[in-house]
Structure 1
Amino acid sequence: MLHANARITLAGRRVPIDRIVAGHPVTHVDVKMGISAGTAWRWSVCGPKEGTPGLSDRLSRPHCTGCSL
């Protein structure tokens, strides 16, 4: 699920993935798409591995609050 103010739709999030998989450098793709390098990397890793759910926004809260990792 995308948050209400997301600029890029799920279909739009596939574009940088396709470009990165095609061999374009992440630093060029992120600038052209107007996203951060971290976001481009995350989508390029999570998208192919998890499919559409991997491109959805995730909670920013920690997975657990009392564990020591």
Structure 2
Amino acid sequence: MIAILILAFGLVLVLEGLVLALAPSRMEEVLRMLVEMPVETRRLIGLLAMTLGGILLWLAAWVSG
């Protein structure tokens, strides 16, 4: 289980780094949009992302065995 969490964390870091390396100006636009969003909307997006991430981790563990 720890190996899966480390793998997931590493994948997040790679994807975040890729976004920042390939499209830094687009990232600024996204951050501006986030600042303009209501707090409740940002919270909902975070909860949905966390739920989807948990489901994907569970699915990866289930498929691997």
Q: TM-score w.r.t. structure 2 length?
A: 0.25
Higher helix fraction (1 or 2): 2
Q: TM-score w.r.t. structure 1 length?
A: 0.24
Higher relative contact order (CA 8 A, sep 6+): 2
